[in-house]
Protein backbone atom coordinates (compact mmCIF):
# COMPACT_ATOMS: atom_id res chain seq x y z
CA UNK A 1 0.00 0.00 0.00
CA UNK A 2 0.98 3.65 -0.23
CA UNK A 3 3.29 4.97 2.41
CA UNK A 4 3.79 8.49 3.69
CA UNK A 5 4.51 10.91 0.88
CA UNK A 6 6.05 14.34 1.04
CA UNK A 7 6.35 17.12 -1.48
CA UNK A 8 8.40 18.62 -2.82
CA UNK A 9 11.32 16.24 -2.44
CA UNK A 10 13.73 19.13 -2.81
CA UNK A 11 13.18 22.84 -2.36
CA UNK A 12 15.71 25.59 -2.95
CA UNK A 13 14.65 29.05 -1.90
CA UNK A 14 16.12 32.44 -1.24
CA UNK A 15 16.52 33.87 2.22
CA UNK A 16 13.42 35.76 3.27
CA UNK A 17 10.98 33.80 1.13
CA UNK A 18 8.15 31.68 2.52
CA UNK A 19 7.95 27.93 1.85
CA UNK A 20 5.26 25.31 2.29
CA UNK A 21 6.06 21.66 2.80
CA UNK A 22 3.36 19.06 2.36
CA UNK A 23 2.83 15.67 3.96
CA UNK A 24 0.31 13.02 2.93
CA UNK A 25 0.04 10.42 5.69
CA UNK A 26 -0.95 6.80 5.34
CA UNK A 27 -4.70 6.57 4.89
CA UNK A 28 -6.47 5.99 8.20
CA UNK A 29 -3.59 7.16 10.38
CA UNK A 30 -4.86 9.61 12.94
CA UNK A 31 -1.50 10.88 14.19
CA UNK A 32 1.01 12.91 12.20
CA UNK A 33 4.46 14.14 13.19
CA UNK A 34 6.95 16.64 11.80
CA UNK A 35 10.69 16.45 12.43
CA UNK A 36 13.72 18.38 11.28
CA UNK A 37 17.08 16.78 10.56
CA UNK A 38 19.99 19.08 9.95
CA UNK A 39 23.00 17.77 8.04
CA UNK A 40 24.70 15.02 10.00
CA UNK A 41 22.44 15.58 12.99
CA UNK A 42 19.75 13.61 14.76
CA UNK A 43 16.01 14.06 14.61
CA UNK A 44 14.48 17.17 16.14
CA UNK A 45 10.81 16.79 16.99
CA UNK A 46 8.75 19.77 15.84
CA UNK A 47 5.05 19.06 16.27
CA UNK A 48 2.47 16.29 16.59
CA UNK A 49 -1.14 16.22 15.37
CA UNK A 50 -3.88 14.02 16.73
CA UNK A 51 -6.53 14.41 14.08
CA UNK A 52 -6.47 18.08 13.17
CA UNK A 53 -5.35 19.22 16.60
CA UNK A 54 -1.80 19.88 17.81
CA UNK A 55 -1.69 19.59 21.63
CA UNK A 56 1.68 21.30 21.98
CA UNK A 57 3.36 23.63 19.52
CA UNK A 58 6.34 24.52 21.70
CA UNK A 59 8.65 22.28 19.65
CA UNK A 60 8.44 24.62 16.68
CA UNK A 61 11.81 26.47 16.49
CA UNK A 62 10.37 29.98 16.15
CA UNK A 63 7.21 31.90 15.36
CA UNK A 64 8.22 31.77 11.69
CA UNK A 65 7.20 28.12 11.72
CA UNK A 66 3.58 27.02 11.63
CA UNK A 67 1.78 23.81 10.82
CA UNK A 68 -1.75 22.78 10.13
CA UNK A 69 -3.63 19.65 9.30
CA UNK A 70 -6.98 19.54 7.59
CA UNK A 71 -9.55 16.78 7.26
CA UNK A 72 -7.47 14.56 9.49
CA UNK A 73 -5.21 13.93 6.53
CA UNK A 74 -2.84 16.26 4.70
CA UNK A 75 -0.55 18.49 6.72
CA UNK A 76 1.38 21.57 5.72
CA UNK A 77 4.46 22.95 7.45
CA UNK A 78 5.00 26.59 6.59
CA UNK A 79 8.21 28.49 7.18
CA UNK A 80 7.97 32.24 6.77
CA UNK A 81 10.89 34.53 6.01
CA UNK A 82 13.28 31.61 5.65
CA UNK A 83 16.77 31.85 7.07
CA UNK A 84 19.88 29.89 6.13
CA UNK A 85 19.73 27.99 9.42
CA UNK A 86 16.38 26.56 8.30
CA UNK A 87 18.22 24.45 5.72
CA UNK A 88 17.59 20.83 6.65
CA UNK A 89 15.61 17.75 5.76
CA UNK A 90 12.07 17.96 7.04
CA UNK A 91 10.58 14.56 7.78
CA UNK A 92 6.96 13.69 8.27
CA UNK A 93 5.65 10.53 9.91
CA UNK A 94 2.23 9.11 10.63
CA UNK A 95 0.92 6.48 13.00
CA UNK A 96 -2.31 4.62 13.44
CA UNK A 97 -3.58 5.43 16.89
CA UNK A 98 -1.64 8.40 18.14
CA UNK A 99 -0.49 7.36 21.57
CA UNK A 100 2.82 9.01 20.88
CA UNK A 101 5.00 6.74 22.90
CA UNK A 102 3.73 3.33 21.89
CA UNK A 103 2.71 3.89 18.31
CA UNK A 104 4.90 2.81 15.40
CA UNK A 105 5.67 5.77 13.22
CA UNK A 106 6.00 5.41 9.46
CA UNK A 107 8.25 8.02 7.93
CA UNK A 108 8.15 9.70 4.57
CA UNK A 109 11.26 10.28 2.46
CA UNK A 110 11.58 13.88 3.59
CA UNK A 111 11.84 17.28 1.93
CA UNK A 112 15.34 18.67 1.58
CA UNK A 113 15.15 22.44 2.06
CA UNK A 114 18.05 24.64 1.03
CA UNK A 115 17.95 28.33 1.83
CA UNK A 116 20.45 30.38 -0.16
CA UNK B 1 13.04 18.17 29.22
CA UNK B 2 13.68 14.46 29.08
CA UNK B 3 17.08 13.52 27.70
CA UNK B 4 17.97 10.46 25.66
CA UNK B 5 21.65 9.55 25.32
CA UNK B 6 23.32 6.96 23.11
CA UNK B 7 26.86 6.40 21.78
CA UNK B 8 27.84 8.33 18.67
CA UNK B 9 29.31 5.42 16.75
CA UNK B 10 30.14 1.73 16.86
CA UNK B 11 32.20 -0.45 14.57
CA UNK B 12 31.66 -4.14 14.02
CA UNK B 13 32.40 -6.99 11.64
CA UNK B 14 30.07 -9.21 9.70
CA UNK B 15 28.62 -12.02 11.77
CA UNK B 16 29.17 -10.31 15.12
CA UNK B 17 26.51 -9.20 17.57
CA UNK B 18 26.09 -5.45 18.05
CA UNK B 19 24.64 -4.01 21.25
CA UNK B 20 23.66 -0.34 21.49
CA UNK B 21 22.63 1.08 24.84
CA UNK B 22 20.42 4.14 25.22
CA UNK B 23 20.06 6.00 28.52
CA UNK B 24 16.79 7.78 29.23
CA UNK B 25 16.47 9.84 32.39
CA UNK B 26 13.07 10.70 33.84
CA UNK B 27 11.30 8.14 31.71
CA UNK B 28 7.57 8.40 32.28
CA UNK B 29 5.43 5.52 33.47
CA UNK B 30 3.54 5.33 30.20
CA UNK B 31 6.55 5.72 27.90
CA UNK B 32 7.48 2.89 25.59
CA UNK B 33 10.96 2.67 24.11
CA UNK B 34 11.25 2.35 20.36
CA UNK B 35 14.25 1.91 18.10
CA UNK B 36 14.49 3.09 14.51
CA UNK B 37 17.02 2.50 11.74
CA UNK B 38 17.92 5.11 9.14
CA UNK B 39 19.84 4.72 5.90
CA UNK B 40 21.24 7.75 4.04
CA UNK B 41 18.63 9.83 2.23
CA UNK B 42 15.77 7.82 3.71
CA UNK B 43 13.33 8.30 6.55
CA UNK B 44 13.80 6.21 9.70
CA UNK B 45 12.29 2.75 9.79
CA UNK B 46 10.83 0.96 12.83
CA UNK B 47 12.92 -1.87 14.25
CA UNK B 48 11.50 -2.85 17.63
CA UNK B 49 9.56 -1.56 20.62
CA UNK B 50 9.28 -2.55 24.27
CA UNK B 51 8.20 -1.47 27.73
CA UNK B 52 9.99 -3.78 30.12
CA UNK B 53 12.17 -6.92 30.14
CA UNK B 54 12.97 -8.44 26.77
CA UNK B 55 11.35 -8.27 23.36
CA UNK B 56 12.54 -10.16 20.29
CA UNK B 57 11.47 -10.05 16.67
CA UNK B 58 12.94 -11.35 13.44
CA UNK B 59 15.38 -8.45 13.24
CA UNK B 60 16.55 -7.59 16.75
CA UNK B 61 16.15 -7.95 20.50
CA UNK B 62 15.47 -5.22 23.02
CA UNK B 63 16.47 -5.48 26.65
CA UNK B 64 14.97 -3.09 29.21
CA UNK B 65 15.93 -3.44 32.90
CA UNK B 66 13.41 -3.15 35.70
CA UNK B 67 14.22 0.51 36.42
CA UNK B 68 13.73 1.34 32.71
CA UNK B 69 16.45 3.98 32.82
CA UNK B 70 18.19 2.39 29.85
CA UNK B 71 17.53 0.06 26.97
CA UNK B 72 19.83 -2.06 24.84
CA UNK B 73 19.21 -2.88 21.20
CA UNK B 74 20.86 -6.11 20.16
CA UNK B 75 21.49 -6.89 16.49
CA UNK B 76 22.53 -10.53 16.07
CA UNK B 77 25.02 -11.54 13.39
CA UNK B 78 25.18 -8.22 11.56
CA UNK B 79 25.82 -7.96 7.84
CA UNK B 80 27.14 -5.13 5.69
CA UNK B 81 23.56 -4.03 5.01
CA UNK B 82 23.08 -3.27 8.71
CA UNK B 83 25.39 -0.27 8.36
CA UNK B 84 23.07 2.61 9.31
CA UNK B 85 22.21 5.09 12.02
CA UNK B 86 20.15 3.72 14.90
CA UNK B 87 17.92 5.94 17.03
CA UNK B 88 16.14 5.26 20.29
CA UNK B 89 12.91 7.11 20.99
CA UNK B 90 10.90 7.73 24.11
CA UNK B 91 7.87 9.94 24.46
CA UNK B 92 7.12 12.47 27.15
CA UNK B 93 4.00 14.65 27.14
CA UNK B 94 3.90 15.00 23.36
CA UNK B 95 7.54 16.05 23.29
CA UNK B 96 9.16 13.10 21.67
CA UNK B 97 12.81 12.62 22.46
CA UNK B 98 15.00 10.87 19.95
CA UNK B 99 18.57 10.09 20.86
CA UNK B 100 21.22 11.72 18.67
CA UNK B 101 21.70 8.44 16.85
CA UNK B 102 24.41 5.78 16.80
CA UNK B 103 26.21 5.23 13.52
CA UNK B 104 26.92 1.53 13.20
CA UNK B 105 29.53 0.57 10.62
CA UNK B 106 29.82 -3.09 9.70
CA UNK B 107 33.01 -4.17 7.97
CA UNK B 108 33.72 -7.31 6.00
Q: Tell me the per-residue pLDDT of A17-67, one tens digit each, with 9 for 90 and over.
A: 999 999 999 999 999 999 999 887 888 989 999 899 998 888 899 999 999
pLDDT at B23 over 80: yes
| Cβ separation B43–A107 shorter than 8 A | yes
pLDDT at B91 over 80: no
pLDDT at B1 over 60: no
Please tell me whether residue A86 adopts helix, strand or coil conformation: helix
Short-list A93, A86, A67, A32, CA closest to B42: A93
pLDDT at A99 over 70: no
C-beta neighbour count of A104 within 10 angstroms = 16
| Cβ separation B43–A100 shorter than 8 A | no
Radius of gyration of chain A (CA): 13
Find the mean pLDDT for residues A97-114: 85
Separation CA A2–CA B61 (nearest Å): 28
Q: How does the average pLDDT of chain A come out, rounded? A: 92
Separation CA A111–CA A11 (nearest Å): 7
Test mutation, A43, A90, A98, A104, chain B, max B CBs within 10 A: A43
Confidence of residue A1 (pLDDT cuts 50, 70, 90): low
Amino acid sequence: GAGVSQSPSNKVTEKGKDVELRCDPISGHTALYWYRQSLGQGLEFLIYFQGNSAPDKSGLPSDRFSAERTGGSVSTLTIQRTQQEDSAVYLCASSLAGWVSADTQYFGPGTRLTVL
Amino acid sequence: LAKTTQPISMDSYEGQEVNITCSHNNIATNDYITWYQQFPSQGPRFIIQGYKTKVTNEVASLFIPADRKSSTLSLPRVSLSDTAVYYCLRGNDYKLSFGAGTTVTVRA
